Structure 1
Amino acid sequence: MSVPYEQTGRHRQKARTRAALVEAARRLLADGADPAVEDAAAAAGISRTTAYRYFPNQYALLAAAHPQIEQASLLPADPPADPVARLDLVMAAFTQLTLDWEPQLRTSLRLSLQPGAAQPHLRGGRAIGWIEDALVPLRDTHPGLDVHRLAVAIRSATGIESLVWLTDIAGLTHRQAADTMRRSARALLSAALDEHTHP
């Protein structure tokens, strides 16, 4: 089995080169471009030959440029106990991340829809975990409520997919779209609580 180029010799220098290519791709995406490997190479001041040793094709480059947001939680250090307040905090942070990373997330969405796309790698479902984290108190106060299913429902009405539809199709501004996603999240939570309280 061949050893990947980045794992042979001069590890630190190669890590810096790879990081420079990824950062260049992210800048180009933020500017509205759809960068090929050679575009990122030119922007980073790296030769095409070298760049292709790290990223053999555009798909590999754009997958690497996907935002890596590793937080286990979007809640502050001392979060409230009320699930509505917790969800509001998480949705405010999540929608801001979606706005901040919109070009990269749009590219990720496009790549995930291509035949044979490595969807789990590109779109790892972190937001469902963040939403579930906001809803944790419901496990004690509403033990019959399926918190995971509720988190999935909320996620289905938020994120980059909803932002694209709300802005590109419905014609809302980005702030209007963000407000709509937050309202949708709260409405889904309220409906679930009402259904659980009055079956």
Structure 2
Amino acid sequence: MSISYELSGRTRQKQRTRSALVAAARDLVTRGQTPTVDAAAATASISRTTAYRYFPNQRALLVAAHPEIEASSLLPEAAPSDVAARLDAVVMAFLHLIVDTEAQQRTMLRLSLDPDPGNRSELPLRKGRAIGWIGEALSPLRGVMSERDLRRLIFAIRSAAGIEALVWLTDIAGLSRKDAVQLMRWSAGALLRSALADAGVVGHQVRPPRRAKASSRRRSSS
């Protein structure tokens, strides 16, 4: 359905209808099904004709049914300054999110394997939000290691922790979800320790850089 249709006339009713279809699709996914527009319409007690006005095909419905993660950060409010503790907090929050929405994550992973690049570009799994979250956790390393090495570390951690790794560890390696999460957590920490060793950093007590304004105040008062 076009956005202009949603925004024209009786917008609240249309939003409720759309939300009902999305909720129905998510419910079907959690039951282990890959919902069609027809199935979502039947579950939501909405006519097929109406449903197709909102979602012209199954793909559009599945993308809409993916959990919306608007958080710009996964760090706790009182974020630790130690880089290892920061990374562990973010990785665990990310992994709990993946496990809690595993059915939807698996559906999106399947869609991301579409051979047509045009069909993959707008998928939530392709937005790179996890890269941003991990990058924020590792921000104290800026200036400690090169941007190239830091980016490589971020990518390495993301490749070791996420729905892709969870699928392999549970479906192929046969681990329980609890053990899979702990292994991904360990892998992230091991990658960080290796990168710190390569950079010649002793220990993990790498603090965030001080703000320039605060530094200038200290210099002027000395």
- Name the counterpart of 1:119: 120
Aligned partner of 2:173: which letter? Answer: A
- Name the counterpart of 2:212: none
CA gap 1:13/1:180 in 2 versus in 1, 3 angstroms: same
Unaligned runs of 5+ in 2: 202-222
Report the structure number with the largest CA radius of gyration.
2
Contact 2:145 2:199 in 1 (8 A): no
Identity of aligned residues (%): 59
Aligned partner of 2:108: which letter? Answer: S
**TM (normalized to structure 2)?**
0.84
Once the two structures are TM-superposed, the CA of residue 114 in structure 1 deviates from its matched residue by: 1.4
C-alpha distance in structure 2 between counterparts of 1:183 and 1:111, whole Å: 29
**TM (normalized to structure 1)?**
0.94
- Name the counterpart of 2:87: 87
CA gap 1:32/1:16 in 2 versus in 1, 3 angstroms: same
Once the two structures are TM-superposed, the CA of residue 186 in structure 1 deviates from its matched residue by: 0.5
Matches within 5 A, 1:62-141: 62-116=62-116, 118-122=119-123, 123=125, 124-140=127-143
After superposition, give the CA deviation of every residue in 1:90-148 in whole Å (9 maximum; x if it has no partner): 011000000011000100010111122532321211001000010011114x1436322
How many residues are paired up?
196
Answer with 6-15 or 59-68: which moved more. 6-15
C-alpha distance in structure 2 between counterparts of 1:130 and 1:92, whole Å: 12
C-alpha distance in structure 1 between counterparts of 2:90 and 2:121, whole Å: 22
Contact 2:114 2:120 in 1 (8 A): no
Once the two structures are TM-superposed, the CA of residue 3 in structure 1 deviates from its matched residue by: 6.8
Unaligned runs of 5+ in 1: none
- Name the counterpart of 1:50: 50
Once the two structures are TM-superposed, the CA of residue 67 in structure 1 deviates from its matched residue by: 1.4
